[in-house]
Amino acid sequence: MSATEIDFYELLEVERGADDKTIKSAYRRLAMRYHPDKNPGCQESEAKFKAISQAYDCLKDPQKRAAYDRYGHAAFEQAGMGGAGGAGFSDIGDIFESIFGSGFAGGGRQQARRGADLRYDMAVSLEEAFHGTETSIEIEVSQTCEPCGGSGAEPGTGTRRCNLCGGVGRVRAQQGFFMVERTCPTCHGRGEVIEAPCRACGGEGRVDKPETLEVTIPPGVDTGTRIRLTGKGEAGPFGSPPGDLYIFVHLKRHDVFEREGTTLVTRVPITFTTAALGGEIEIPGVDGERLTIGIPAGIQSGKQLRRRGAGMPVLQGRGRGDMVIEITVETPTKLSSRQKEILRELQSTETGEECPQSLGFFERIKTAWSDLTD
């Protein structure tokens, strides 16, 4: 049985829109079923195993899969995409590699590909961002297969030189006027092929496992801060180096403070008597201490008071930002009879000079009205 005779998706028994995880799971299941070691001497099982391996090699690669979805098996024929005689996207990339170089020494074997980087989104409280914290996270990540040590070969077996490329990891094909050099589709640039794929990883050299990691959150982090854990990403194929894990910090909403860089902003309502006479208010700082804020007499709504050095710490630096207290003067909605009486007495003594902004406003109104009536 040849993989070119049957649709790759049918070979792996998945739908065309299947995601990478579903395709990978289907391949592992079928590889275990048709592995030559489980079916010794059965040529049909061996052919089936090779066919599903070829199908998986294509569908696990985003570029190859896109080409296959568009052109079918013709995408990988020597004549080009669907016999059109033109170069596809991967061919164009290979042309540029041939001209400018691609990290291949003298057209030799492909250098080891580093594993993929991973992203983890972490929500932290304002207090944790202020003090810094130690926490643990659990992720599922591809790790080097222990039985085969990442080689992809069944323990006790080895590899042989690739017959298609002769062990150099690259093959050449004519593309119209161009001679295109590309990665060998059989060995994927390694120059070697696995004789007996590892049962544990299906020849991948990697397996998905849960892992618990300790993460240090430094003081001063903010939304958008990235923390890099070197070597904690996906394991590279066939024992190549792993990628990195990036922790993206997201700050949780706080009940009292809003953050603007290293500045903390809070809005505090005060009574109109405190606004008129002045006084003091207490605010809990994010560091746990209580801050006493003096209110000057005659303060207006919207006025901002600043406490230096009471904000957030500078990330990987020294010092702290400021705290800004925005005052809102609150008008009482429930008054006792005695309070109303006191206010009426106050009202009867007002001359207008107590509130210069109001006086100025009404003077402007009078001027505008007289201009209209003249």
> Residues at the annotated binding site for Zn(2+)?
145, 148, 162, 165, 184, 187, 198, 201
For 194, phi and psi rounded to 5 degrees? Answer: -80, 130
Whether 193 and 187 have beta carbons less than 8 Å apart is answered as yes
**d(Cα 329, Cα 316) in Å, to the nearest integer?**
38
Cα–Cα distance for residue pair 348/331, rounded to 1 Å: 19
* DSSP run (H or E) holding 59: helix 43-59
Q: What DSSP element (H or E) covers 250? A: strand 245-251
Q: Which residues are annotated as a binding site?
A: 145, 148, 162, 165, 184, 187, 198, 201
Classified as helix, coil or strand, 190 is coil
Give the number of other CB atoms < 10 A from CB of residue 279.
16
Q: Which of 307, 309, 320 is nearest to 280 (CA)?
A: 307
Question: What is the chain's alpha carbon radius of gyration, rounded to the nearest angstrom?
Answer: 36
> Six-digit token pair at 46?
């061996």
Q: What is the DSSP string of 258-272?
A: EEETTEEEEEEEEEH
Hey, is 198 helix, strand or coil?
Answer: coil
- Residue 334 CA to chain centroid, in angstroms? 51
- Assess contact for 216 and 122: CB atoms under 8 A: no
**Long-range pairs for 284-293 at CB < 8 Å and ≥24 separation?**
284/256, 285/310, 285/323, 286/126, 286/127, 286/130, 286/257, 286/312, 287/130, 287/131, 291/323, 293/268, 293/325
Q: For residue 224, what are the CA distances in angstroms to 35, 199, 216, 358?
A: 47, 42, 16, 45
Residue with tokens 């007499």: 297
| Separation of alpha carbons 52 and 32, rounded Å | 11
Tokens 């990195």 belong to 244
